[in-house]
Amino acid sequence: MISDRVRVRFAPSPTGYLHVGGLRTALYNYLFAKKNNGSFILRIEDTDRARFVEGAVENLIDTLKWSGLTIDEGPGNEGAYGPYTQSERLSIYQEQTQKLIDSGNAYYCFCSKQRLEEMREERKEQGAQPVYDKHCLHLSKDQIKSNIDSGLPYVIRLNVKPGEKIYVNDLIRGNIEFDSSTVDDQVLMKSDGYPTYHLANVVDDHLMKITHVIRGEEWLPSTPKHVLLYKFFGWEIPGFAHLPLLLNPDRTKLSKRQGDVAVEDYRSKGYLKEALINFVALLGWNAGDDREFYYLSELVENFSLERVNKAGAVFNLEKLDWLNAEHLRAKDNADLLKLLRNELKINPEVEDDFTDEYLVQVIEAMRERVKFVKEIVDTGIYFFTPPVNYDEASVAKNWKSDSAVNLSLLNEKIAELENPVKDDFENALRHAAVELSTGAGKIIHPLRIALSGVSGGPGVFDIAYILGKEECMRRIKRAIDKLG
RNA sequence: GGCGCGUUCGUCUAGUGGCUUAGGACGCUGCCCUCUCAAGGCAGAGAUCACGGGUUCGAAUCCCGUACGCGCUACCA
């Protein structure tokens, strides 16, 4: 047994940002770990120096932290099996590779890029698998030594014996059979001394006592290489679970070209982390019932690898928006107040000099009407600054020739009110309507325009109450002046 | 081309041989509520379960084949 305790890892490469597909992979790893009282480990796979992006690791960790997926071991949070950054583990890979060379399961290769290309081309034409032809496998010790001494660049390759069956037992897909003849003599060590993913992930997973490898489906075809490596090393094979892909609307692998793929994009657009996590969890997994709303802790309780789907799932924004609204409404005023303050802070159109009491009233008026916190500011802008102009369609529909007269009387009534509450505004308006022998609606709609500039939103008396007597009177007067 | 994986409403999905005239959710449409917009409630449209063969008294569910889609096929991960 590898370990009694479940240990899983999320192993991204720091190429810029956290992809939403990566977030889901991280999430499923996290859920599986927590459900089984295990550890969730972050490992940075930075073995490709050409693709390294400055600041990417920090960004990755920051985004993961924002999402609430706390790691038990990882860079900056060293456990017993570090370091957790592969570029800091080079000597380990070298040492392990030497074992493979000594046992004949790996070998030096000095082939040039050009020869490799020509060989692959030829094989493809013949309709054969474009795998390496083992040209360097039979080099003598002396030849190898003299090649190395003369400074010839080389790589170390995996020595795959053809004609054997390799079985991968996937926790989601069941038993999968591969023919070793279709498995390439994969490069294990690159000529720059860095390992490839295949070598590094097997070595690290073993050394870090990883019990389950939960990763994207794109890794399924290379899993036989990994299984072979475990065998050659004489190590126990961990459980594999290959997750279905996240898809673009055209059902290709989710990519940048067809929309936002970075978690930080969604974060900056104002999506709640609760909603993103909830949404992404449901893309490929469900508990077997009709439940759709989950908090992270509830996902942990209910998660199981057995219930992960096999087919890819389209990343559908409409449902994400709905879930965002659901989570927003589930939040209490204190949480929303914090979020609203943040929005006000970054909005150049408004000055945040409002009291908590005022903002909480706005929140209660708006929470049922928005999907995003920032919408409270965007569509409820009149709570923060008086309307500068009035929505044309609304004016055309509801501002009639008698509106100015009606509102003038209303303003007189409001002037008489002392510390009015919501009902006082309503009573004032209804009294005005009676005096004018008109329907309340004839005044309500113009009042709404005067106060907010638009025709939608919270109840007009709620708006009036929140704005307060003086501000209402100012806005009514202004509307009469401007709209006549 | 080769290898692998997959295929239930537009989308996410339930369904593991009879409970299924295939259920839910998002979105869409209509109605109710109503000062507006939402929210909420109700109703509706929407899937011959990719196709073709089997197995079985009975198949979305098991088997085989085909098609289509996707992934992989690097000294990238």
What CATH number is given to the structural domain containing A453?
1.10.10.350
A321 shares its domain with A358 = no
Whether the CB-CB separation of A442 and A449 falls below 8 Å is answered with: no
A309, closest nucleotide (Cα–C1')? B13
A323 shares its domain with A395 = no
Q: For the segment A374-387, what is each residue's pLDDT rounded down to a tens digit?
A: 999 999 999 999 99
Q: Please report, for chain A, how many H helices and E strands are present, in that order.
A: 20, 11
Q: What ranges make up the beta strands (E) of A226-306?
A: 239-243, 246-247
Q: How far does the CA of A60 sit from the C1' of B4, in Å?
A: 31
A289 shares its domain with A345 = no
A393 shares its domain with A349 = no
In a domain, A297, yes or no: yes
Half-sphere exposure of A326 (CA within 13 A, CB side): 16
Which CATH number does the domain housing residue A3 bear? 3.40.50.620
Residue ranges of chain A with per-residue pLDDT less than 70: 1-3
A97 shares its domain with A184 = yes
- A95 Cβ contact partners less than 8 Å away, ≥ 6 residues apart: none
Q: For the segment A98-120, what is each residue's pLDDT rounded down to a tens digit?
A: 999 999 999 999 999 999 998 98
- A148 Cβ contact partners less than 8 Å away, ≥ 6 residues apart: A108, A154
Distance CA A193, CA A209 (A): 24
A420 shares its domain with A377 = no
In a domain, A457, yes or no: yes
Query: Which contiguous run of DSSP H or E holds residue A313?
Result: strand A313-314
Q: How far does the CA of A53 sit from the C1' of B76, in Å?
A: 14
Which letter does DSSP use for residue A437 in this model? Answer: T
Which CATH number does the domain housing residue A99 bear? 3.90.800.10
In a domain, A444, yes or no: yes
The pTM of the full predicted model, rounded to 2 decimals, is 0.95
In a domain, A132, yes or no: yes
Which letter does DSSP use for residue A187 in this model? Answer: E
Nucleotides in chain B with any atom closer than 7 Å to protein CB: 1-8, 10-16, 23-27, 35-39, 69-77
**How high is the pLDDT of residue A336?**
98
Half-sphere exposure of A111 (CA within 13 A, CB side): 21
Q: How far does the CA of A283 sit from the C1' of B68, in Å?
A: 23
Query: Which contiguous run of DSSP H or E holds residue A222?
Result: none
Q: How many domains does chain A have?
A: 4
Domain end (from A313, A330, A347): A330
Domain end (from A189, A212, A235): A189
In a domain, A87, yes or no: no
Domain end (from A315, A330, A345): A330
**How high is the pLDDT of residue A5?**
94
A376 shares its domain with A398 = no
A184, closest nucleotide (Cα–C1')? B73
Residue A405 one-letter amino acid: V
In a domain, A12, yes or no: yes
Residues A32, A326, A281: CA angle, nearest 5 degrees: 20
A64 shares its domain with A116 = no
In a domain, A199, yes or no: no
**How high is the pLDDT of residue A82?**
85
A57 shares its domain with A33 = yes
Domain housing A445 = 386-484
**How high is the pLDDT of residue A124?**
80
A325 shares its domain with A353 = no
Q: For the segment A196-237, what is each residue's pLDDT rounded down to a tens digit?
A: 999 999 999 999 999 999 999 999 999 999 999 999 999 999
Which CATH number does the domain housing residue A339 bear? 1.10.8
In a domain, A433, yes or no: yes
A188, closest nucleotide (Cα–C1')? B75
Q: How far does the CA of A311 sit from the C1' of B49, in Å?
A: 15
Q: How far does the CA of A243 sit from the C1' of B68, in Å?
A: 22
* Coil/strand/helix, residue A417: coil
Please name the residue that has the structure tokens 């996590």.
A277
Q: Going by DSSP bridges, is the β-strand pair A246-247/A313-314 parallel, antiparallel, or unpaired?
A: parallel
| Residue-wise DSSP of A82-128 | ---BGGG-HHHHHHHHHHHHHTTSEEEE---HHHHHHHHHHHHHTT-
Give catalytic residues of A, as residue numbers.
256
A98 shares its domain with A168 = yes
A34 shares its domain with A104 = no
A282, closest nucleotide (Cα–C1')? B12
